[in-house]
Amino acid sequence: MPFKGKPPGGGAGEISKRTEALRPTILLTPKEAAEARRRRREGQSTDTIAEAMGKPVDEVEKVLVQMRMPRPETTRGTLNVTLAAHRLIMRERRGDEPIWTTMDRLLDELLRLRQAQGDGAPPAPRRPTRRRDEGASLPLLAELESPHRQ
């Protein structure tokens, strides 16, 4: 019973049609917009770009406001887990594989191990307990907990 995840669709990361319809009309051609964005990535100011291209500053600003920039911490890679669990998952990544691929692989391994140990049925649910250090109840994560939590 392998766990198979579904990768993001072909249009993942593209702009929403609704968002595109709500944006103001820009009087620069797509080629001019690309040139303005390239100059901005090089570190030029909006005024300098507008002057060099011979375009109004407000039109150049409209193009640059829509510019996508790489973010230091992408939201698509965020895991809603403890810091110790995050470190474990990041350690399990193979090269630059996406985090969703790592998670699919780890879950598949877990399900295969459970199936090999018995009938594959999940264990009976436990009553939740409140502990000061919840990470200590998870053997794999206990060793990864940061020293300041002890």
pLDDT score for 149: 47
The string of pLDDT tens digits covering residues 56-74 is: 999 999 888 877 666 665 5
Rounded Cα distance, 101 and 26, in Å = 39
pLDDT over 50 (residue 133): no
- CB-based contact 137:126 (threshold 8 Å): no
pLDDT of residue 44: 93
Looking at residue 42, what is its pLDDT? Answer: 92
Answer yes or no: are the C-beta atoms of 137 and 145 closer than 8 Å: no
* DSSP symbols for 50-99: HHHHT--HHHHHHHHHT-----SS-GGG---S-HHHHHHHHHH--TT--H
pLDDT on residue 31: 95
Mean pLDDT, the chain, whole residue set: 77
Confidence (pTM): 0.38
**pLDDT of residue 80 exceeding 90:** no
* Residues 6 or more apart in contact with residue 95 via CB below 8 angstroms: none
Confidence band, pLDDT 50/70/90 cuts, at residue 75: low
CA distance 51 to 39: 12
Highest average pLDDT, of 91-105, 110-124, 134-148, comes from 91-105
